[in-house]
Amino acid sequence: MAFRKRREALRSILSGSACIRAGSVYDPVSIRIAEDLGFELGMFGGSVASLTVLGDPDITLITLTELAEQMRRMSRASTLPVLVDADHGYGNALNVRRTVQELETAGAAGLTIEDTLLPQAYGAAEPQLISTEEGIGKMKAAVDARSDPALVIMGRTGTRGGGPSATSFDDCVARAKAYEATGVDALFFTGLKTRKELETISAATTLPLVLGNAQGELDDPAFLVHQRVRIALQGHTPFAAATLAVYETLRALREGVPPKDLKGLPSSQLTGRLMRDADVKLRLAEFLGLKR
C-alpha cells in the first residue's frame, strides 16, 4: 500500500530501544518543516486540528471529515509518518470503525482512541470518562476496522487527566491492562506525574508506551526508555509560535511598517525548499516543455 512504509516506520519506533520526541504538525508546510529538520514522527493533535481548521478551542467541534481531510493534505505534502489524535473516535464503537477507516485512507501512520466522554455532557464542567466496558468495545472496534495491518492503533485513557475525568490510579492501571488485551499496538497516557506511576504501569503492561507529557521528574530520557516509553510528546508550541508570528507581522503592517523592514521573514531559499520548488521546475521542464 502507498502508506505502508510510513506505518512500518512508526512500528519500528515502537519496537525500538529509544524514546523519540515527535514534531507537532498541522498543515502541509509544518509537516515539510518537520520532515526537513529530521523528525522521525509527526503528531497531529486534536487541539491544533480544531484551531487550524475552525479557529475554535479543543471542545470537539471539528468533524471526522474535516480531521481526515487535513490529514490527507499533509500526507500528500510529505512522507513523514504521522500519529493522529482521533479523540473518542467521533461517537460510539461503530463510529470508531469509521474513524479508523477514514484516517487510514487519509494516510495516517497511527491513531489514538481515548475513553473520554465527548463532547462534554450537559452540566459537566470538564469531560468525563466512559465505562471501561465501553472503552474496551471502542478499542476492539478500532483494531477490527483497519484494512492495513501495519496501521498503528493506540489505546488512550484519560484517567489521569484531572478534573471529573480523573479516577483512581488503580483504575488507570486496570484500564491499561484491559485495553492491551484488545489487541491495540501501544498505550497512550496523559497526566502521569511521578516515576512511581510510570513504573507501575510499565510493570503491569507489555506494550510500548506513549506519554502526552513528560515533565518534572519524568523529563528524563534514559528513565523513559527503561520504562518502555517510545514516544514522548512536547505539546504544540509550533502552532503557538506561528500564531504569534502572524499576529506580530500583521500588526506591524497595520501600523505602517513597510514589508521590506519586517523582521523574522524566511529567506527565499527556505520558502523555495518548503514549496519543493526544484521538483516543480523539473516537472515543468519535463511535462510542459519549459526551460529550467
DSSP annotation of 17: S
Same domain, 213 and 96: yes
Which structural domain, as residue segments, surrounds residue 288?
266-292
pLDDT of residue 162: 54
Same domain, 145 and 283: no
Same domain, 10 and 44: yes
Same domain, 69 and 194: yes
> Residue 224 corresponds to which cell in the numbers above?
523513559
Specify the higher pLDDT residue, 152 or 164. 152
What percent of the chain stands above pLDDT 70? 97
pLDDT of residue 25: 98
- Give the total number of structural domains in the chain: 2
pLDDT in tens, 76-113: 999 999 999 999 999 999 999 999 999 999 999 999 99
pLDDT in tens, 266-283: 999 999 999 999 999 999
Same domain, 161 and 276: no
Same domain, 215 and 277: no
Same domain, 205 and 83: yes
pLDDT in tens, 120-133: 889 888 779 999 99
pLDDT(163) > 60: no
Strand-strand pairing, 116-117 and 128-129:
antiparallel
pLDDT in tens, 169-212: 999 999 999 999 999 999 999 989 999 999 999 999 999 999 99
277/53 Cα distance (integer angstroms):
26
Residues 24-31, mean pLDDT to the nearest whole number: 98
**What one-letter code names the amino acid at 151?**
L
Same domain, 156 and 194: yes
185/210 Cα distance (integer angstroms):
11
DSSP annotation of 265: P
